[in-house]
Amino acid sequence: MGSLRSFPTVAFTIVMAFAPTLAHGQLPGERAAFVERAASQKWAMLIGVDEYIHVNKLKYCGSDVSALQERLVGLGFPEAQTFLLHDGAKQRKNEPYKSNIDAVVETLLGKLSEDGKSLAQRGLVSRGDLVVVAFSGHGAHLDGTSYFCPIDARLNRADSLLSLERLYKLLALSPADVKLMLVDACRNDPRPGGVKDLKATAESKKLAESLDKPPQGILVLSSCAPGQVSVEDPELGHGV
């Protein structure tokens, strides 16, 4: 059995595999597109939630995304284009509340039309860009739909959760060339008093299945496959 590796370390390794293609403004075999792609940009939205208000708290999700941001900036992601939302943020607008997350999603990816089939408003991400969306925290599967849980999530209210389906649609409609999601969310029952062991619940299995089948053109790296459970390791100080 290999040694444990932290979520930010593995995530950074995956991003490194894609970043060089955009750093030089071209993909293999696309020499003619070099001039147009020279202005390609790298964007990231990194969300980590530990201090949940209404569900079980976690320990290292903020550390995960903070470490990932440091590595991405070191790789060449502009700090101003790397949006970090976590519990320890110095500014209230950067705490992982649902309203703050929605604002960043709309800034980067835009707004869906009422029928959900097109963009009513474009975001900052443009053709040729690389966009990374990372979430570390609780996930949930309610009434057939998978969600990520912001800090103020209420598991009986879908409007307080971040819909995975909505994120998928926005990324699918985005003109970016590379769309990467990094997810560490398939945990045990997040409800107070919920089960906390190494066995997956029915809900966590369904969430993992949603992450296992993203729309065409979106790459998803999840912390676990259906039937597995995400864990936090005190020695690493991160998710595994």
Contact predicate 138/49, CB 8 Å = yes
pLDDT in tens, 138-170: 998 888 899 999 999 998 899 999 999 999 999
Amino acid 206: pLDDT: 83
Amino acid 126: pLDDT: 94
pTM of the model: 0.80
> What is the per-residue burial (b if ≥16 Cβ within 10 Å, else e) of 160-188?
bbbebebbbbbbebbebbbbbbbbbbbbb
Tokens read off for 184: 């560490």
Amino acid 33: pLDDT: 39
- 161 dihedral zone (left: phi>0; alpha: psi -120 to 50; beta): beta
pLDDT in tens, 163-177: 999 999 999 999 999
Amino acid 22: pLDDT: 42
DSSP 196-236: -SSSPPHHHHHHHHHHHSPPTT-EEEESS-TT----EETTT
Tokens read off for 25: 């403004």
In a 10 Å sphere around its CB, with 0-12 CB exposed, 13-18 middle and 19+ buried, how is residue 62 labelled? buried
Tokens read off for 69: 């941001």
Amino acid 93: pLDDT: 95
3-state secondary structure of 150: coil
In a 10 Å sphere around its CB, with 0-12 CB exposed, 13-18 middle and 19+ buried, how is residue 138 labelled? buried
Amino acid 102: pLDDT: 97
Amino acid 99: pLDDT: 97
Other Cβ atoms within 10 Å of 27 Cβ, number: 15
- The span from the CA of 216 to the CA of 218, in Å, is 6
Mean pLDDT per 10-residue interval, the chain, length 240 residues: 57 58 40 46 96 91 94 94 94 96 97 92 95 94 91 94 96 95 76 48 77 91 68 60
Amino acid 8: pLDDT: 64
Task: Read off φ and ψ for residue 236, nearest 5 degrees.
Answer: -75, -30
